[in-house]
Chain A
Amino acid sequence: MSRKGRPFHSGQLLAVLLAMTLASPAYAYIDPVTGSFLIQGLVAGVMAVMGGVRSIRQRIIGLFRRRRDDQV
């Protein structure tokens, strides 16, 4: 694949790194829901970052739109 191929999104790269560096400590749980519980904090953290990025992006888009509307 050439360097000009599909670019890796920086957020995706960060998430892959996070996934690779996560250790799996041995807890005494056998209930699958518990596993979900422990990963949920991380997932929710990433979601909060995504939500923040989305909100900033929408604000910037909104700013440009407003300017364009003003020009019209």
Chain B
Amino acid sequence: MPAFQALWEKGVHRALIEQGLMIETRWLAESASAGQLLGARGEVPGCVLEHPRVAFFSYPYEWTFAQLKAAALAHLDLQIAALELDAALSDATPYNMQSVGGRMQLIDVLSLRPYQDGEMWVGYNQFCRLFLLPLLLEAWSGVPFQPLLRGSLDGMRLADAVRMLPARKRWLTINGLMHVTLHASQELSHSRARTGKVAARPTMPKSRYRALLTELRVWINALTSRRPKTFWDDYAVDNSYARDDRLQKEEFVADFVSRGASTVWDLGGNSGDYSLVALRAGARHAVVFDSDLDALEIAFQRQHDHPGLQPVVMDCGDPSPALGWQQRERGGLAERVHADAVLALALTHHLAIGRNIPPRSLAHWLVSLAPRGVVEFVPKADPMVQRMLAVREDVFHDFTEQAFLAYLEEVAQVQQTRRLKTGGRLLIAYQRHT
């Protein structure tokens, strides 16, 4: 608390907030409500800070390469700017970075503390495990990092990473040699050591600290993904939808959103076409959930012009679980439910037929996510579904429009439907039973 106060009074937080690197923060020192707030165990707070609400909390294993890279660059920018103001961060985790208004910002304002002369970067190892190695895995080996980060909240171990990253890059580039190969060898040799003297705490000059940060920034800024192109990337262009159908869907979604939906979850939203329709129709925030990384990279590029758009890497058939200590550190999707409405367009057949999700369970799950929604039922006669069924036995006896509507009506009221001109698809707007 004294450290925070010292930096606050020095204007360090304000400077970082004005540079867009830290979340907007107000100290409610004089506020009447501040005195009434208590901690989880009845503690009286030393100070009460107020931030704008983060529209949707997402985690690094739900980010694309470009999102993690943006978070890494924002984190380094913040550290470089903080160091100029004689402040340092007590950790270097992407879990402290969140997308706020379309920009990655530090949300853990209490992790900022005064810089001690000669101190080293305490978060260096953590930065490598959680930012650098996942980025290198995709930039050097072309392998998506999300499953690995979802597997461990501490990130990738350096010893494992050296086995996954190409030796040529690890040995023949200075950055690879220093941050990966040498770093891993030191980490390994110290973890094996059992006896010996305890070394004095090492120090380094501030200029070197700054050089470490700035050179990492230059390197990371130049990294590009080498991941092979994904299948669904061409979906928006090369699919079986007729133009008329798309226009009808856009009109239906715009009408639905304009009747009041501030936060919309676009499930299986691809590159965010219908999320943009929702934003234009009055939604303030649209979260695009998809498992296709290339489609989400496009959505992330669109975020530049549409800050309300937020891509999230998530397979709707296998949503993010609750993770960490007591499974309470990082909420699963179910713990983060707060949308006003969901869109599930061209999704039902992928989950019901592609992933064997029972249609009843699917209908109930959709309704559990938000009080209102639009779902598109794709019948078996649709060419896409026919293609899916061509290589497997049709055991999906209750995947019919009639059954799906009946399942939906168990938990919600169907308010409006519209039959699309081609393909026999049905758009359904519903409202959850109260």
Q: Which residues of A contact B (CB under 8 A)?
A: 9, 11-12, 15-16, 19, 22, 24-48, 50-51, 54
- A48 CB, min distance to chain B CBs, angstroms: 4
Pick the most buried of A9, A15, A36, A46: most chain B CB atoms within 10 A of its CB.
A36
Given contacts A32-B187, A43-B183, contact A38 B174 (CB under 8 A): no
The chain B residue sitting closest to A49, CB to CB, is B211
Contact of B178 among A24, A30, A46, A51 (CB under 8 A): A46
B128 touches A36 (CB 8 A): yes
Given contacts A36-B187, A40-B212, A41-B204, contact A50 B128 (CB under 8 A): no
Question: Chain A: interface secondary structure?
Answer: helix
A24 touches B186 (CB 8 A): yes
Q: Is B120 on the interface with A (CB-CB < 8 A)?
A: yes
Kindly identify, within residues 174 to 195 of chain B, every residue whose CB is under 8 Å from any CB belonging to chain A.
Answer: 174, 177-179, 181-183, 185-191, 193-195
A36 touches B171 (CB 8 A): no
B183 touches A36 (CB 8 A): yes
A-B contact pairs, 5 of them (CB 8 A): A27-B198, A35-B187, A35-B190, A47-B215, A50-B174
In the complex, what residues of A have CB within 8 A of residue B122's CB?
33, 37
Contact of B124 among A9, A25, A26, A40 (CB under 8 A): A40
Top 5 A-B pairs, shortest CB-CB distance: A35-B190, A36-B125, A48-B211, A26-B196, A35-B187
B218 touches A54 (CB 8 A): yes
B211 touches A29 (CB 8 A): no
Please report the C-alpha to C-alpha distance between residue A35 and residue B216 in the assembled complex, in whole angstroms. 19
A12 touches B212 (CB 8 A): no
Contact of B208 among A12, A26, A34, A44 (CB under 8 A): A44
Contact indicator per residue, chain B 110-133, by CB within 8 Å of chain A (1) or not (0):
000000000011101110100000
A45 touches B208 (CB 8 A): yes
In the complex, what residues of A have CB within 8 A of residue B51's CB?
none
In the complex, what residues of B have CB within 8 A of residue A22's CB?
182
The chain A residue sitting closest to B172, CB to CB, is A12
